[in-house]
């Protein structure tokens, strides 16, 4: 494929701003290595889009600053949740990754689990709690949550990078944990704690997505920890073991579930699907439509270990974005 002008969006309004900038820098370098002509557009914490320091103006229907493809390397709210994808649709420009609906769905932990539950996808038991519900009838809500046993994980419904998540071991910790999660989102999910290994699997493709080798997240902190913000981003906080040290049939189950989950959620381009594996039980935890994307992030490393180098992954994603755009425009509406 000839080199394309690719606008790489980085930064954004969410708490994952810095993480996104690091991912975007790697994507820029990788696209250039693959023979494309990438340029950076940085989205400030204030939401303003800038290219080389100058504010960008857009006109619906007129694309984005001459880009042939846009790569929104944005994590979390206002980037990975369908909002930016909606803007890109209005601009009439091809873009990498999931469209509006799949982005929004996968960002919403409750809706995602509800939908996967209907399809019989194995996952932990969970309850959704609205702030006003808890205020109106705390005894009823807390009694429902007690049925999940212990520990539970209390999470803002629409966030990432473990921000706002609390693991609750004792009943007395539940109310403060809920208060913490409600600082980020009026909707909170409380999940039964899963045991076992954390396994992650990358997926790439549109109609016929392909799964990477699954990898195993090994935390290097004190025993009994979980994959919190610190473990995710502190140097040496975790080690990725590829392939995951699970029996071959379980590895294949993970890969098959990663692909079927990707399809069920209506994803395109890429995703990283995360699992809990205990013995022969495989539970889907979540699907990230724009996972961390530095050269050393799990997404790329899993494909690297599966024989697809970083620059080739990026090249394929550009191709898939163009393919989806052309297909979408073949339909009458
Ligand atoms: N139900 C659960 N059981 C056990 N560990 C959990 C559970 N939910 C979350 N965790 C831990 O918290 C981490 C972050 O949770 P996750 O739902 O993946 O949120 P995020 O979208 O912020 O990555 C997981 O990687 C895992 O270590
Ligand atoms: Mg996660």
* Atom 26 in ligand 1: residue holding the nearest Cα: 227
Nearest CA to ligand 1 atom 27: 227
Residue 124 CB–ligand 1 contact under 6 Å: yes
Read off the pLDDT of residues 32-68 as tens digits, 9 standing for 90 and up. 999 999 999 999 999 999 999 999 999 999 999 999 9
Atom of ligand 1 nearest to the CA of 161: 22
- The domain boundary residue, chosen from 192, 218, 250: 192
Model confidence over 196-238: pLDDT tens digits?
999 999 999 999 999 999 999 999 988 888 998 888 888 888 9
Q: What is the CATH number of the domain that holds 268?
A: 3.30.470.20
pLDDT for the residue numbered 61: 97
Ligand 1 contact via 191 beta carbon (within 6 Å): yes
Residue 297 confidence (pLDDT) above 60: yes
- Percent above pLDDT 70 for the chain: 100
Count CB-CB contacts under 10 A for residue 14. Answer: 23
- 81-85, 125-129, 144-148, 292-296: segment of lowest average pLDDT: 292-296
Output the domain CATH number for residue 17.
3.40.50.20
Q: Which of 228, 274, 304, 315 is catalytic?
A: 274
Catalytic residue from among 131, 161, 193, 295: 161
Whole-number pLDDT of residue 234: 84
Residue 206 annotated among the catalytic residues of the structure = no
Both 276 and 313 in one domain: the answer is yes
Judged against a pLDDT cut of 90, whether residue 333 lies above it is answered with no
Q: Are 122 and 282 in contact (CB under 8 A)?
A: yes
Q: pLDDT band for position 134 (50/70/90)?
A: very high
- Cβ(40)–Cβ(51) below 8 Å: yes
Q: In what order do the strands lie in the sheet with 187-192?
A: 126-130, 187-192, 152-156, 166-168
Reported as a single tens digit per residue, the pLDDT across 102-133 is 999 999 999 999 999 999 999 999 999 999 99
Buried b vs exposed e over 197-216: b needs ≥16 C-beta within 10 Å? bbbbbbbbbeeebbbbbbbb
Which residue's alpha carbon is at the smallest distance from atom 24 of ligand 1? 227
Active site residue 126: no
Given this model, what pLDDT does residue 1 score? 56
229 and 305 belong to one structural domain: yes
Specify whether 92 is located in the same domain as 65.
yes
Q: 101 pairs with which residues across the strands?
A: none
pLDDT for res 224: 86
202 vs 116: CA distance, rounded Å: 18
pLDDT higher than 70, residue 31: yes
Distance (Å, whole) CA 210 – CA 208: 7
Check pocket membership of 80 for ligand 1, CB cut-off 6 A: no
| Nearest residue by C-alpha to atom 15 in ligand 1 | 162
* Strand locations in the chain (E): 5-11, 37-43, 49-51, 54-55, 69-72, 126-130, 152-156, 166-168, 187-192, 197-205, 210-211, 215-219, 238-241, 269-278, 281-288
Q: What is the pLDDT of residue 331?
A: 85
Q: Any catalytic annotation for residue 103?
A: no
Pocket test for ligand 1, best of 165, 218, 233, 284 (most atoms within 8 A of CB): 165
Tell me if residue 236 is catalytic.
no
| Alpha-carbon separation of residue 87 from 55, 81, 93 (angstroms) | 16, 12, 9
CB of residue 227 inside a 6 A radius of ligand 1: yes
Q: Measured between alpha carbons, how far is residue 181 from residues 40, 131, 165, 238 in Å? A: 33, 10, 7, 24
CA distance 207 to 259: 10
Spatial distance between the Cα atoms of 189 and 113, rounded to a whole number of angstroms? 10
Domain-located, residue 325: no
Q: To the nearest whole number, what is the mean pLDDT of the chain?
A: 95
Q: Catalytic residue among 97, 99, 215, 292, which?
A: 292
User: Does the active-site annotation cover 150?
Assistant: no
Residue range of the domain that includes 273: 105-120+195-320
Q: What angle do CA 299, 323, 305 make, to 5 degrees?
A: 25
Q: Could you tell me if 115 and 244 lie in one domain? A: yes
The domain boundary, picked from 166, 192, 218, lies at 192
Which CATH number fits the domain that encloses residue 166?
A: 3.30.1490.20
Domain count across the chain: 3
Residues 111 and 138 grouped into a single domain: no
- Residues across the chain: 333
CA separation for the pair 25, 114 (Å, rounded): 35
Same domain, 171 and 258: no
Tell me, yes or no, whether 223 and 83 share the same domain: no
Q: What is the pLDDT of residue 26?
A: 97
Mean pLDDT lowest for which of 25-29, 236-240, 270-274, 311-315? 236-240
Distances (CA, A) of 205 to 4, 141, 184: 19, 41, 33
For the residues 229-252, what does the mean pLDDT come to? 92
């Amino acid at each position: 494929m000839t080199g394309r002008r690719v606008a790489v969006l980085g930064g954004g309004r969410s708490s994952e701003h810095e993480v996104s900038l690091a991912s975007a820098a790697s994507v820029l370098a990788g696209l250039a290595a693959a023979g494309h002509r990438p340029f950076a557009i940085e989205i400030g914490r204030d939401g303003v889009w800038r290219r080389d320091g100058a504010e960008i103006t857009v006109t619906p229907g007129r694309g984005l600053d001459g880009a042939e493809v846009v790569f929104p390397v944005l994590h979390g709210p206002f980037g990975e949740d369908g909002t930016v994808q909606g803007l890109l649709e209005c601009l009439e420009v091809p873009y990498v990754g999931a469209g509006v609906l799949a982005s929004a769905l996968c960002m919403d932990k409750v809706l995602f689990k509800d939908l996967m539950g209907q399809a019989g996808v194995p996952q932990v038991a969970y309850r959704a709690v609205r702030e006003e519900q808890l205020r109106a009838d705390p005894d009823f809500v807390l009694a429902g949550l007690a049925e999940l046993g212990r520990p539970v994980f209390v999470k803002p419904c629409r966030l990432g990078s473990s921000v706002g998540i609390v693991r609750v071991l004792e009943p007395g910790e539940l109310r403060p944990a809920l208060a913490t999660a409600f600082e980020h989102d009026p909707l909170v999910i409380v999940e039964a704690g899963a045991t076992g290994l954390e396994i992650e699997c990358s997926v790439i493709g549109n109609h016929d997505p392909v799964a990477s080798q699954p990898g195993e997240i090994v935390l290097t902190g004190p025993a009994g920890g979980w994959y919190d913000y610190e473990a995710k981003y502190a140097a040496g906080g975790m080690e990725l073991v590829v392939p995951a040290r699970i029996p071959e049939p379980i590895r294949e189950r993970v890969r098959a579930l990663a692909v079927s989950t990707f399809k069920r959620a209506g994803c395109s381009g890429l995703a990283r699907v995360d699992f809990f594996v205990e013995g022969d039980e495989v539970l889907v935890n979540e699907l990230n439509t724009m996972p961390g994307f530095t050269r050393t992030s799990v997404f790329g490393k899993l494909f690297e270990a599966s024989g697809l180098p970083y620059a080739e992954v990026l090249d394929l994603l550009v191709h898939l974005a163009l393919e989806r755009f052309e297909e979408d425009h073949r339909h009458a509406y």
